[in-house]
Amino acid sequence: MPRREDSVTIEGADLRRQMLMANPGLSRFRPLPRIISYDDFSTSGMAGWTSLIGNYEDTLENVLPEFRGMYAPQLSVANHWDTGSHGAMSGSYSMKIATRAHKGALNLVLKRMTYIEPCPIQVEMFFAVKPEANELRLSDADVRSFGILLDLQDYDGHPQPRRAMPHLKYLNAMDGELKQRWQYKSVTEEDRMVGPTGETRSHPHFGSEGWVDVPGGEQRLCYNELPTKLNWHYLRLGVDLRSMRVTALQCNDKRMDHDAIDTMMLTPAWANLWSMLNVCLFCETDTDKRCFFYVDSILVSGDWDDA
């Protein structure tokens, strides 16, 4: 006969799974045991997602140039001239991240959080990507890239506190040539001082330099036959906050070798950023038109004990 505590544990895990499976929004995800945040933009609104604003001191004039072209995400019904309102995967609204209309323009939005315990975490989402449909052609090479990065820092009191920034992106095209592969960033970029006191730094870490192909990361995504047709995709990224290592990278059915992602941006800890857990999403255009990164829903989960 099983011990009583074993029976309770099994029943509890089974009950949790049944509850997840009974929820249409959550059952399509595979979260770790603790859900940190769950945003379905049809019901949650913006849920704390906001624009990335460069650091400044005394005046906005010392915001670094790399940050000045960024602006806030929107709730969108994905209007198109020929199909009307496309809607989201599971409702009317998705979060739309839009670039400006000049080649190489990048926009990045984020949700700022902190973590409860250093533990494995995981980010999952359903997304779609399209350029602005202002031409009657396929435009499948007009989006340069889209991706996700995490901005993490060890807790106060960690013996060797670090700030870690795993960056992952899908490079769709470069100068009109399709690339269709996943990349990670291996270069730690220099921060810069802003303002006159020497107390405020800024860090344009999202630039185009230092990206390396994920081994075996070639992947052709569904684009469909028209520039106005959306198809939704699944993305999963796992990171262990204790080792600051990537533990999972998956897009749709493709699971990539996370052990091959052997470097990430690591710097000594910054002041005041203890236990930081920021989730950032970005997209970049390869032409003089806007590109749009739509997020139907996104779930951040972790695995820590009650003790």
Instruction: Give the start-to-end residue ranges of the domains of the chain.
Output: 1-30, 31-302
Angle, CA 44 vertex, CA 38 and CA 47 arms, to 5°: 75
Taking domain 31-302, whether its CATH number is 2.60.120.260 is answered by yes
Between the alpha carbon of residue 21 and those of residues 31, 79, 122, 221, the distances in Å are 12, 32, 19, 27
3-state secondary structure of 87: coil
H helix runs in 3-100, sequence order:
4-22, 41-44
Under 8 Å between Cβ of 124 and 29: yes
Residue 1 has what pLDDT? 45
The C-alpha atoms of residue 197 and residue 126 are separated, in whole angstroms, by: 43
Residue 59 has what pLDDT? 74
Buried b (16+ CB within 10 A) or exposed e, 259-294: eebeebbebebeeebebbbbbbbbbbbbbebbbbbb
Residue type (1 letter), 61: E
Residue 156 has what pLDDT? 96
Residue 210 has what pLDDT? 87
Mean pLDDT by 10 residues, the chain (307 residues): 49 74 86 95 95 77 75 93 90 97 96 96 98 91 97 96 96 97 87 75 78 96 90 97 96 94 87 95 97 98 87
5 has which bridge partners?
none
The C-alpha atoms of residue 252 and residue 6 are separated, in whole angstroms, by: 35
- What phi, psi does 260 have (nearest 5°)? -75, -15
Residue 12 has what pLDDT? 65
The C-alpha atoms of residue 299 and residue 87 are separated, in whole angstroms, by: 20
Between the alpha carbon of residue 214 and those of residues 146, 217, 234, 246, the distances in Å are 15, 5, 18, 12
